[in-house]
Amino acid sequence: MLAKLHRYLAGILAIPLLLVIFSGLLLAVVPLLTPTNPSAFTPAQMQHTMERLEQDGMVKFAYALPDHNLIMVAFEGLRGRQFRDLYTGERGEKTWQMKLSGFAKGMHKGLLVDAGWLVEISTWAMLIITIVGFVLSRPRWSNTNMGWHNSVGWVSGPLSLLVTITALMMLYQGHGPRAGKQEAQPSMTLEQSFGQLQNYTVANMQMVKTTPNGYELSWKDNQGQAWSWQPDSQATPQEKPVRWARVLHDGTFFGNVGLVVYSLLSMMLLAILFTGYANWIARLRRDRKGANALAADHLVTYVSQSGQSAKLAQQIATELTEKGDSVQLTSAANISAKDLASYGKVHLLVATCGEGEVPDSGKALLASLGSVDLNGIEVSLLGLGDRRFNHFCEAANQFHTALTNAGATLRHPPVLVDGKPKEQWREWLQASLS
């Protein structure tokens, strides 16, 4: 059940998940490609730029973007935002980094089609997929699609949970009531407002916002702490609280190091998506291979979750063919219990997924074993599992019980393998043929 939830959530929301993760990668990489402006943007420079901007109308707010040598400004009565030169206030052009970042933000928040609701659903799905992934797998690496899928998932999982949870926190934290529209001109002049900063350490000005009583000023000090001064509500500057949800979500808590880590995280999440889909497609192709050949000496059939039992079944079929025997190889999804009677010997490989669950490809065959008589049918059973789970090779044990109840003859006790079968399968096959 959990495996289906994990798989189908990822499948149904494949496109939005891909777009959200890819746009997250862009948002982490673009700041790394943006040259840093080493010069401080002083209160005097901000005041000069504001004086120029106010010649064109009443400014609602102006936000400095020193790394791009631009200032973002919004005017009363005008829709949208303009970008002006940081030092002169004259019209400027957005840099390619800003354009790419804007494109990525639009994709990240609304998939470029104002579909924020779908991003919200995808974020919840990402949380569920990650948690279920931890429940279903254990940190064991193998050089297969599923091996990489599980290993990368375990490495990236904790940070992925952090990013997902902080995204949900930002979605639901609320923003408080909106301020009413300001009609009156400020009663405190620009020069008077900036004069209040003379006794404080200002490393870089960030924003000026017009209020009914003057100008709200925001800046950072030499330690990077954000401050604000509001003439209509307080007499001294106040520290701005750190928005931890955003800082942790954006990866800016360690500057460029954090951005590099989040870039790697995004690439790992993309790798998880692609390996998961590749494994799903490969399994669908295997399961669609019908058992249409004429009855053969041997039937090699497999119940696979990650693809390991399918690959091993292929090796066994090749080994038997080289001995000169006729062999039919197929997924258990393509046969029923009645089909087993058409073969002299049946070699069944059964993987276990999660906490003792039977993979989807084997459920129908297992159910059909309860309604047939397999008296005289010889079966050898190889179980693949992981001892770190509580119910080791439980799926193989269920098949063993069902085959015995149906009257099948077990050539030898089932062989249960922990992890990779290595050479154990050859010993198992030899015992099956003896």
What is the three-state SS of 208-242? EEEECCEEEEEEECCCCCEEEECCCCCCCCEECCC
> How far apart are alpha carbons 10 and 276 in whole angstroms?
9
Task: Say what the pTM is.
Answer: 0.68
CATH at residue 414 = 3.40.50.360
Domain assignment present for 327: yes
Together in a domain, 113 and 250:
yes
Together in a domain, 405 and 276:
no
SS3 of residue 63 by DSSP: strand
For residue 361, count other CB atoms closer than 10 A to its CB. 23
402-407 contact pairs (CB < 8 A, 24+): 402/366, 402/369, 402/370, 403/348, 403/369, 403/374, 403/379, 405/369, 405/370, 406/337, 406/369, 406/370, 406/372, 406/373, 406/374, 407/373, 407/374, 407/375, 407/376, 407/377
Domain assignment present for 29: yes
Together in a domain, 344 and 409:
yes
pLDDT at res. 238: 87
Q: What angle do CA 382, 385, 387 make, to 5 degrees?
A: 130
Q: Which residues lie across from 331 on neighbouring strands?
A: 302
Cβ within 8 Å of residue 7, ≥6 positions away = 276, 280
Q: What angle do CA 61, 239, 169 make, to 5 degrees?
A: 80
Phi-psi sector, 208: left (phi>0), alpha (psi -120 to 50), beta: beta
> How far apart are alpha carbons 24 and 167 in whole angstroms?
12
Together in a domain, 248 and 317:
no
Together in a domain, 326 and 394:
yes
Cβ within 8 Å of residue 288, ≥6 positions away = 334
Q: Which of 267, 294, 321 is the last residue of a domain?
A: 294
Q: Which of 253, 269, 294 is the last residue of a domain?
A: 294
Range of the domain at 427: 296-433
Together in a domain, 383 and 351:
yes
- Characterize 57-91 residue by residue with b for buried, 16 or more Cβ atoms within 10 angstroms of its Cβ, and e for exposed: eebbbbbbbbebbbbbbbbeeeeeebbbebbebee
pLDDT at res. 385: 86
Alpha helices in 196-338 (DSSP H): 244-250, 256-288, 308-322
Q: Which of 197, 212, 230 is the last residue of a domain?
A: 230
Output phi, psi for 380, to 5 deg: -120, 135
Together in a domain, 26 and 43:
no
pLDDT at res. 285: 61
For residue 420, count other CB atoms closer than 10 A to its CB. 13
Nearest to 15 by CA among 178, 170, 155, 125: 125
- Strands of 238-239's sheet, edge to edge? 82-85, 70-75, 59-65, 204-211, 214-220, 226-229, 238-239
pLDDT at res. 381: 93
pLDDT at res. 170: 92
Helix axes 14-29, 96-110, angle to 10 degrees: 150
Cβ within 8 Å of residue 52, ≥6 positions away = 88, 89, 90
Together in a domain, 4 and 149:
yes
Domain assignment present for 372: yes
Together in a domain, 80 and 56:
yes
pLDDT at res. 137: 75
> Running DSSP on this structure, what letter comes out for residue 353?
B
Domain assignment present for 180: no
Together in a domain, 203 and 223:
yes
Number of domains comprising the chain: 3
Together in a domain, 321 and 386:
yes
Together in a domain, 202 and 160:
no
Tens-of-pLDDT digits for all 434 residues of the chain?
A: 677 788 889 989 999 999 999 999 999 999 999 998 888 899 999 999 999 999 999 999 999 999 999 999 999 999 999 999 999 999 999 999 999 999 999 999 999 999 999 999 999 999 999 999 888 777 766 666 777 888 899 999 999 999 999 999 998 875 444 444 444 445 778 888 898 888 888 999 999 999 888 899 999 998 889 999 987 555 688 888 888 999 999 988 888 999 999 999 999 999 999 988 887 776 666 555 544 444 577 899 999 887 888 888 888 888 888 887 888 888 998 888 888 877 878 999 999 887 788 988 899 999 999 888 888 888 999 998 888 888 889 999 999 999 999 888 888 888 888 877 677 777 887 887 76
Helix axes 116-136, 145-172, angle to 10 degrees: 130
Domain assignment present for 181: no
Cβ within 8 Å of residue 103, ≥6 positions away = 26, 112
> How far apart are alpha carbons 358 and 361 in whole angstroms?
8
HSE on the CB side for 337, CA within 13 Å? 21
Q: Which residues lie across from 409 on neighbouring strands?
A: 378
Domain assignment present for 182: no
